[in-house]
Structure formats: C-alpha cells, structure tokens
C-alpha cells in the first residue's frame, strides 16, 4: 500500500504513510499532549503553594511595618481590613507587599 506512485512518478507524502502507522502517530501525539497537560497541572499546584508561602511571609512583614508606622494612631489595629464588607478578597498578583 505504501508503494503507490502518483501519475508523475513522484510519491506524495500521503502516499508514503501507512494508515496504521498514521493512527499510531496520532495516538502517540495525543498521549504526548495529555502528558504535557498533566505536567502543567502538577506544576500549577506547586507554583500556587510557593506563591501562597511568599504571600503569607510578605503579609506578615507588611503588618509588622504597618503596626510600627501606625503605633501612635489611637484605635488602629494593624492587619485589619479597612473595608467593612466582611468578605475576603484575593490579593493582587503584583508583588507590591
């Protein structure tokens, strides 16, 4: 089946490929793609944990600094939200803390 020749005597790429081999190649590409996706999924959780650790330590430093700066203001509680909605909002992704 792979030995067909076109009218010009030159084999086109599709004539070189065995249909079974083509299916194997497609399956291999799908498996490789799924493996890359799984690697990304695994890395995302690790990177998120790393960022969470960084955020917690940066937040602690920021609260300590805020307490030092605002120590003379009566009634000020360092680290307390200035918003009164009672909802937690995720921090900004920029590293400004």
Residue spans of the domains in the chain: they are 15-53
pLDDT band at 1 (very low <50, low <70, confident <90, very high): very low
- What's this model's pTM, rounded to 2 decimal places? 0.55
What confidence score (pLDDT) does residue 10 get? 58
pLDDT digits (tens, 9 = 90+) for 58-79: 889 999 999 999 999 998 889 8
Q: Is 4 left (phi over 0), alpha (psi -120 to 50) or beta?
A: beta
Q: Mean pLDDT lowest for which of 2-6, 28-32, 39-43?
A: 2-6
What confidence score (pLDDT) does residue 55 get? 87
Specify whether the CB–CB gap between 90 and 96 falls below 8 A.
no
pLDDT digits (tens, 9 = 90+) for 6-30: 555 555 555 566 778 888 889 999 9
Contacts of 15 (CB under 8 A, 6+ apart): 2, 4, 5, 6
Stronger pLDDT, 83 or 16, i.e. the higher one = 83
Helix, strand, coil % (nearest 5) of the chain? 55, 0, 45
């Amino acid at each position: 089946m792979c030995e067909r020749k076109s009218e010009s005597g030159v084999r086109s790429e599709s004539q070189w490929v065995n249909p079974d081999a083509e299916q194997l190649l497609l399956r291999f590409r799908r498996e490789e793609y799924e493996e890359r996706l799984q690697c990304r999924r695994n890395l995302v959780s690790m990177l998120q944990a790393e960022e969470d650790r960084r955020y917690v330590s940066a937040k602690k430093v920021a609260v300590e600094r805020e307490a030092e700066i605002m120590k003379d203001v009566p009634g000020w509680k360092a680290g307390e939200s200035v918003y009164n909605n009672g909802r937690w909002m995720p921090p900004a992704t920029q590293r400004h803390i």
